[in-house]
């Protein structure tokens, strides 16, 4: 199903019959972070009644317990770090973007941290100025779908690099890590603050999507991104970013 797209002054074709889902499914074994237990999905039980057809119930009727920042792919707004209440459901007004997918190998610092730097982003972007940027870290394997990132000091983005992305016009940042910031940073959240320019010049329309997974067979390049969220009135929501190859 070919579609001719006109988007922000550009015209191109995409094949809507070939979506590329880069979200991590939500399940008891899905990737998680921030010291939480796995997602819990269980049938409602009320007296003799059970919400599980396999156990004799009339319907499947389950409770799901999860944390949107810790379990699977999620998209967050500035409300994640602000005193003011901002909801991702209110702040994300558009859902389609031209995105650039790039692969980066985080650089090891003297203190042992692995960091995505401004210099490496300058190299992989090579003059491109996308409105959405998707970062895939090397080495990349399907183990990311089920990894428990807690207490592993994952790679993160240097705040200088984040400020540079903002200067390019990147409004939507997606990455396959649990955070743009260091796991334990004393509450500095330097890259979060730089991306949203909070609190000096708060940009409420920008979003960060974490814990995506981009398989290796998906090549770096330009894509049409559909960023889907659930309608939670919360600073973050589980999300489903879907890519479409740009054909022309």
Encode pLDDT of 91-112 as tens digits.
999 999 999 999 999 999 999 9
Distance CA 83, CA 44 (A): 35
Instruction: Walk along the chain (248 residues) in steps of 10 and give the mean pLDDT of each run.
Output: 78 92 96 98 97 97 98 98 98 97 97 96 97 96 97 98 98 98 97 98 98 97 97 98 93
The pTM assigned to this predicted structure is 0.96
| pLDDT for 25 | 93
pLDDT given at position 170: 98
Provide the percentage of residues in the chain whose pLDDT is more than 90.
Answer: 94
Which residues 6+ apart lie within 8 Å of 80 measured at CB?
69, 192, 208, 235, 236
What fold does the segment set 2-31+68-245 form as a domain? Glucose Oxidase; domain 1 (3.50.30)
Whether 67 and 33 have beta carbons less than 8 Å apart is answered as: no
pLDDT given for residue 79 in this prediction:
98
**109 Cβ partners below 8 Å, 6+ apart?**
115
Region at 13 (left for phi over 0; alpha for psi -120 to 50; beta for the rest): beta
């Amino acid at each position: 199903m070919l579609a001719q797209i006109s988007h922000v002054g550009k015209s191109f074709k995409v094949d809507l019959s070939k979506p590329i889902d880069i979200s991590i499914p939500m399940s008891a074994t899905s990737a998680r972070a921030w010291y939480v237990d796995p997602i819990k999905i269980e049938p409602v039980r009320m007296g003799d009644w059970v919400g599980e057809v396999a156990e004799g119930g009339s319907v499947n009727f389950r409770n799901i317990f999860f944390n949107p920042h810790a379990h699977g792919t999620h998209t967050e707004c500035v409300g994640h770090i602000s005193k003011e209440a901002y909801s991702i459901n209110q702040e994300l007004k558009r859902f389609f973007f031209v995105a650039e997918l790039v692969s980066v190998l985080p650089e090891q610092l003297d203190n042992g941290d692995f960091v995505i730097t401004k210099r490496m982003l300058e190299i992989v972007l090579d003059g491109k100025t996308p409105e959405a940027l998707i970062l895939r870290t090397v080495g990349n394997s399907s183990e990311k779908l089920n990894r428990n990132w807690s207490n592993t000091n994952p790679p993160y983005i240097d705040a200088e690099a984040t400020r540079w992305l903002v200067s390019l016009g990147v409004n939507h940042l997606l990455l396959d890590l649990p955070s743009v910031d260091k796991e334990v940073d004393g509450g500095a959240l330097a890259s979060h603050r730089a991306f949203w320019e909070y609190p000096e010049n708060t940009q409420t329309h920008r979003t960060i999507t974490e814990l995506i997974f981009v398989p290796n067979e998906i090549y770096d390049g330009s894509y049409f991104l559909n960023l889907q969220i659930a309608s939670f009135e919360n600073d973050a929501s589980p999300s489903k970013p879907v890519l479409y190859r740009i054909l022309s």
